[in-house]
Structure 1
Amino acid sequence: MAERNDVIVFDGVCVLCSRWVDFVLRHDRAGRFRLAAMQGTHGRMLLQAHGLSAGDPVSFRLVLEGRAHTDTDAIAHVLRGFGGLWRVAASLLEAIPRACRDPAYRWIARHRYRLFGRRASCRLPAPAQAWRFLD
């Protein structure tokens, strides 16, 4: 497990977001990233501490080294954190102008429940992965 843990704040009832969490758990072999649902105490506190709205979950949030990142920049930071070829994927994402990639991301985020579905309650971690979740 990595000594420093950065935190991904995700929408715990969003099916797409839960798939992203599964992806992170599968590829973050070093255990660098911790996870906090924005509906939980830690997630809500992190969002508020960085001036982000906990009541407006239209963006992916990453608190990295004490600084909040959102949207596709946050995704690129996570991919880069996986290391290896994921760094290339992050570079390819960042090669697309932010003025194009962030609006596309936000459109998907705004319509994610309609496109991918919504859970009745927050995602629960498997016992072996519970240490990765803050709430």
Structure 2
Amino acid sequence: MTATFVYDGDCAFCTTCADFIERRIPTHARVLPWQFADLDALGLTQRDCEEAVQWIDDSPTKAAGPDAIALLLRDAGRAWHLAGSALQLAPIRLAAWPAYRWIANHRHMLPGGTAACSLPQAQRDLL
């Protein structure tokens, strides 16, 4: 299985970040919105994907949030690998989760974000 990085395709901020990854970060992973992923095959649930970005590979490694971002960066090699390794260092990792949660909770206010980014998936489905 090719590594897969799963994000929220209904969130404009997340999609902007995924577009950046696809343009600028030479990862081997598929970068895929969870709404178009076979979640069962990946061993993920909708709830997993609503809570954080996900990384799945064939080792099988499963990671979420900043841990998933670290693995994506390490997969990209070169300077990206260094950034991903740094993100996995204990003091940085300890700070990364609260920072990730803050960004996730405020993504509707960030560049590329829209009001729909702040709604839970069940409410977005009604739009």
The two structures share one fold, judged by TM-score above 0.5: yes
Q: Structure 2 vs 1, CA of residues 68 and 38 (structure 1 numbering), >3 Å: closer, same or farther? A: same
User: Higher relative contact order by CA 8 Å / sep ≥ 6: 1 or 2?
Assistant: 1
| 2:70 corresponds to 1:68 | no
Paired-residue identity, %: 31
Aligned partners of 2:37, 2:75: CA distance in 1, in Å? Answer: 25
Match of 2:30 among 21, 30, 34: 34
Match of 2:98 among 77, 98, 103: 103
TM-score, scaled relative to structure 1 = 0.68
Deviations 1:40-82 (A, max 9, x none): 352x4356x245615x613111112233210111111101111
1:79 aligns with 73
1:25 aligns with 22
Q: Structure 2 vs 1, CA of residues 46 and 24 (structure 1 numbering), >3 Å: closer, same or farther? A: farther
Q: Aligned-residue CA RMSD in angstroms?
A: 2.6
Q: Structure 2 vs 1, CA of residues 6 and 109 (structure 1 numbering), >3 Å: closer, same or farther? A: same
Give the total of aligned pairs.
113
Q: CA deviation at 1:27?
A: 3.5
Counting only pairs closer than 5 Å after superposition, residues 1-12 of structure 1 correspond to structure 2 as: 5-12=2-9
Aligned partners of 1:46, 1:111: CA distance in 2, in Å? Answer: 30
Question: What is the one-letter code of the residue matched to 2:29?
Answer: F
2:123 aligns with none
Q: Whose helix proportion is higher, 1 or 2?
A: 2
Aligned partners of 1:106, 1:67: CA distance in 2, in Å? Answer: 22
Q: Structure 2 vs 1, CA of residues 46 and 14 (structure 1 numbering), >3 Å: closer, same or farther? A: farther
Question: What is the one-letter code of the residue matched to 2:30?
Answer: R
CA contact (8 A) 1:13 1:118 kept: no
Question: What is the one-letter code of the residue matched to 1:23?
Answer: F
**Which runs of no fewer than 5 residues in structure 2 stay unpaired?**
117-127
CA contact (8 A) 1:50 1:68 kept: no
Aligned partners of 1:69, 1:90: CA distance in 2, in Å? Answer: 13
Question: What is the one-letter code of the residue matched to 1:19?
Answer: T
